[in-house]
Structure 1
Amino acid sequence: MVTWTSPAPADAPAAPITDGPITGAERPILEGLLARQRASLLNVCAGLTAEQLAERALPPSTLSLLGLVRHLAKVERVWLRQRLAGEDVPALHGGPGDPGDFADAQPASAERDLATLVAEWPRADAALARVPIDHEIDFRGRAMSARAVLLHLVTEYARHLGHADLLREAIDGVTGR
């Protein structure tokens, strides 16, 4: 039996690690930063088995690389597709506020969960492309622009990539991915 391992970004054409623009219009810069964060997550997970991806940090924490994969898929869907673009799509992993993305992360679902995240990216990008950067939504009684949503996603990935780096190092000693 062949053991499944998480593919490297080169094996996942939706997420090559590239540097986006760093001058010019704001939107392409922000979209490039998000693309790089996405690819970095795949890179941290690359080559790990389903069991390694589901390995939890320290009890009682439910934090794992697989939990981060599930959480970020949910975040992309909630913020870009449901809230920003108003798409009527089902929630992932219990929806906003539900801890199922971390608590329910199991090796048996690792391949499917990673595929769900990668499949969510072009859908989320398409949803984002349908609205101008100044488009506003109501969030908790306040106006929030597409710009702020995009910045939120970049910072959400950045925050969790720090966790991911530490989790990966604890699993197999690999750093700098």
Structure 2
Amino acid sequence: MSGIVVETIVRPERRISGPWLEVIASNLDYHRAAFLWKCEGLSDEQLRQRPLQSSALTLLGLMRHLQGVERAWFQRALAGTAPDFFPYRTYLTPAGDEWFDESDPTPARGVYEDYLKACEESRQVFGKVTEDLARIVPNEEYGDTDVRFILEHVIEEYSRHLGHADLLREAIDGATGE
């Protein structure tokens, strides 16, 4: 078995027109695949690297975070269920935010499989939680929002962290891409 955690990723085509929910769903899948593309071909050790001196970010830490984004927004906020978060080791930042501790011993392959599972769980509830886009969802962070805002926020999370992933990947092995 190779030491590569994320094998070849084929990014799906995005819908750029058509029904809004189909465009959103395809863009979510595109961003999910784009993140994994940034992790493609790397080992456990490489995914754990902190290549930027000014940051503790790692690709594996971002993967842990994005599984949490999927479960928190799709399952907890939109579906109103209690997601089954994997018990990754965390710590509190100086700002009081919870972040994933890179000393967590979970193998990168396990984190990757958990991330894939979280994305699939989101796809499974997508149709039901988006039946009423104007439905108001209580939100401690932003105040009450509608479903559209939450969907856009998940895309915003991916967009922000894809930028981080670009920098991390280039610093790890020089690989660049769109």
Q: TM-score range by the shorter chain?
A: 0.7 to 0.9
| Number of aligned residues | 169
Contact 1:54–1:106 (8 Å) recurs in 2: no
Contact 1:77–1:124 (8 Å) recurs in 2: yes
* Two-structure CA RMSD over aligned residues (Å): 2.3
Residue 143 of structure 1: how far off its partner (Å): 2.2
Contact 1:37–1:158 (8 Å) recurs in 2: yes
**Residues 1:165 and 2:159 aligned together:** no
- TM-score norm. by structure 1 comes to 0.85
Q: 1:117 aligns with which of 115, 118, 123?
A: 115
Q: Give the Cα–Cα distance (whole angstroms) in 2 for the partners of residues 106 and 170 of structure 1.
A: 22
State the 4+ residue runs in structure 1 displaced beyond 6 angstroms. Answer: none
1:124 match: secondary structure? helix
Where does 1:92-103 land on structure 2 (aligned, <5 Å)?
Answer: 92=86, 93=88, 97-100=97-100, 103=101
Farther-moved stretch of structure 1 (106-115 vs 165-174): 106-115
- TM-score norm. by structure 2 comes to 0.85
Other-structure match for 1:78: 72
Matched to 1:139, the amino acid is: N
2:137 match: secondary structure? strand
Higher helix fraction (1 or 2) = 1
Q: 1:91 to 1:108 in 2, by over 3 A?
A: closer
Farther-moved stretch of structure 1 (141-150 vs 34-43): 141-150
Q: 1:47 to 1:22 in 2, by over 3 A?
A: same
Other-structure match for 1:176: 177
2:152 match: secondary structure? helix
Other-structure match for 2:137: 137
Residue 108 of structure 1: how far off its partner (Å): 4.9
Q: Give the Cα–Cα distance (whole angstroms) in 1 for the partners of residues 69 and 164 of structure 2.
A: 16
Residue 37 of structure 1: how far off its partner (Å): 0.3
Q: Which runs of 5+ in 1 are unaligned?
A: 10-15
Residue 25 of structure 1: how far off its partner (Å): 1.4
Q: Give the Cα–Cα distance (whole angstroms) in 2 for the partners of residues 134 and 20 of structure 1.
A: 24
Identity of matched residues, %: 34
Q: 1:34 to 1:2 in 2, by over 3 A?
A: closer
Q: 1:120 to 1:108 in 2, by over 3 A?
A: closer
**Residues 1:128 and 2:122 aligned together:** no
